[in-house]
Structure 1
């Protein structure tokens, strides 16, 4: 069952999202940073929202303690706290800068604390939580190019270490999730040389699965994963699960942040929800959903999966929260 509601106080896209429990113990969906409906550098925001999962009643909360808004940040829930990683700022002249800051957000107190910075600042990366302790940031964009790094944040000890590099084409805007000791990363945008010798951005059709070695979180055995029945797309919403890793929506044409491709063609949003079983290495086409793209995550709550904001098929920025209830 899928239903959508205009629940957010304001339209937002490219926002970092995560699940937590508020001071009343209620399951709550959180949204941080992102881009407003004007879709220019002026519309990049520091806003944050809290939405009670049971009712989808939303309210504005204090945003992260940064001077400038961020795009392409990513959030992850670990041991009852939410960690907010990086992103990039855009200046009036279009200059972009990857940011190193990492913040720990406490859903009970709604306070932010800065923790250890990323060794190599990345944005448009994917954050995958394993063992309710380690956050794997796989590939992503650093200032002026993609990197193949796998950077791991240890939330227990507030430290970073480097794991086995991502073996695929370095990408930004990829999607990924985890289950057990497995990570799955797919899609995104890679840089290639054009006919004129200049760099151009094209969609990546690669999917990779990684298995973390027992007792050695820095050691990942990577291998090619089968391609999904649809996509992979750019900036899909992805979520980790106990048995399955879910992917929803996404755009069919790479773009920076306004939804119009580097080639001048508007991206089309996908209306498909798919799932991957890492144990069987199999894909399932779960079903259809309202078309959407420009996501930084798919929130796994107690009552379903949630797409928070994003862009619709006409490239408009959305106030919608789409709830996907999975059949048991």
Structure 2
């Protein structure tokens, strides 16, 4: 999330969200700190199957068909030093068949970006925004959108986001449209649902997100339905500084098949086990579920240390939201807990997490793989 001329922990008497709303959310979860049953005792993943050329976290990830077949792509992010100077515009391609990663052309921007999002539509990868960090801590949400061509390793700048957002949920629809749900804009969260049409290179506003405006939430889309869960809300000021709280809420959005701008939103059960921040997530049409993995237990800016001064700890949970039964299912656990993710990729029966942070809040280069047993 960029924060205009101040960083996210800065003093700014705007964008109050009633703290009582967040408190009520936590009260709905009497066992929010308890872990859900794992759906099996054995981890679903082994050691990292290969590695990025350098450790990277908060990076935008996508799966696409590259010159050498199914390929995982990583754009932007934060390097191991975790300081303002470690924001990155680097990009990498990891060919799944040969389990090898290499650098590709960097994102054509002047400064590194955090919390951007990448989505593959009709063979191209669309890269949205992110935020920059200055030496004095100032953070700015950026409007740029690029279409990346995997065949010739090139970027084309397309229409900017009407409202620049970062730490948003980005969801592809019908291999044409891309939804950007909520997220951070300069000085606070927004409830906007912005819809990009890749065929006309144009933007529209879809039905607004009715939940608490959040950043660092996660979600996925299958068929005409999306699930958006968790994230971090602003809950007023404490000692002149914004108070950030986890938002333990899940919303389902059903898209009108005749009009992609119309979404019927309704609250559904929150994710069992307590809210998590920056989970890896993807919609899985084969399972008719949205899959969530990892994530942090304490909201933080970008270095893994919570706004409350306590280090965030990663989760090893793998959860699925079943769109047919409207219910959560525990699907297993990761071999190694991780957090600070901007997406989950699936190729064949395998799911991939690229980079992130471990239990020591250290930035990692691992490309981890897991499967879900039926």
Question: TM-score higher than 0.5 here?
Answer: yes
For the pair 1:315 / 2:358, whether they are aligned, the reply is no
> Partner residue of 1:11?
55
Contact 1:13 1:318 in 2 (8 A): yes
Contact 2:216 2:232 in 1 (8 A): yes
> Partner residue of 2:260?
217
Structure 2 residue corresponding to 1:306, chosen from 342, 352, 363: 352
Distance 1:246 1:231 in 2: 16
- Report the Cα offset of residue 279 of structure 1: 2.0
For the pair 1:283 / 2:331, whether they are aligned, the reply is no
> Partner residue of 1:262?
307
Q: Which structure has the larger Rg?
A: 2
SS of the equivalent of 1:49 reads strand
Distance 1:166 1:99 in 2: 21
> Partner residue of 1:20?
64
Distance 1:199 1:40 in 2: 22
Contact 1:139 1:172 in 2 (8 A): yes
Unaligned ranges ≥5, structure 1: none
Contact 2:248 2:271 in 1 (8 A): no
Distance 2:161 2:46 in 1: 37
SS of the equivalent of 2:265 reads strand
Distance 2:322 2:114 in 1: 30
Structure 1 runs, 4 residues or longer, greater than 3 Å off? 194-198
Task: Give aligned pairs, total.
Answer: 327
**Deviations along 1:281-326, whole A, 9 cap, x unmatched?**
0111000101000000001222411000000011010010110123
Distance 1:271 1:137 in 2: 26
Structure 2 residue corresponding to 1:142, chosen from 165, 176, 185: 185
Name the TM-score, length of structure 1 as normaliser: 0.97
Contact 1:27 1:302 in 2 (8 A): no
- Report the Cα offset of residue 44 of structure 1: 0.4
SS of the equivalent of 1:42 reads helix
Distance 1:303 1:64 in 2: 30
Unaligned ranges ≥5, structure 2: 1-43
> Partner residue of 2:31?
none
More contact order relative to length (CA 8 Å, sep ≥ 6): 2
Alignment of structure 1 residues 1-328 onto 2, 5 Å: 1-5=44-48, 6-24=50-68, 26-194=69-237, 196=239, 198-242=241-285, 243-289=288-334, 290-327=336-373
Name the TM-score, length of structure 2 as normaliser: 0.85
SS of the equivalent of 2:363 reads coil
> Partner residue of 2:7?
none
Distance 1:121 1:103 in 2: 13
Q: Which moved more, 1:104-113 or 1:227-236?
A: 227-236
Distance 1:209 1:102 in 2: 26
- Report the Cα offset of residue 194 of structure 1: 4.0
Cα RMSD for the two superposed structures:
1.2
Distance 1:80 1:241 in 2: 18
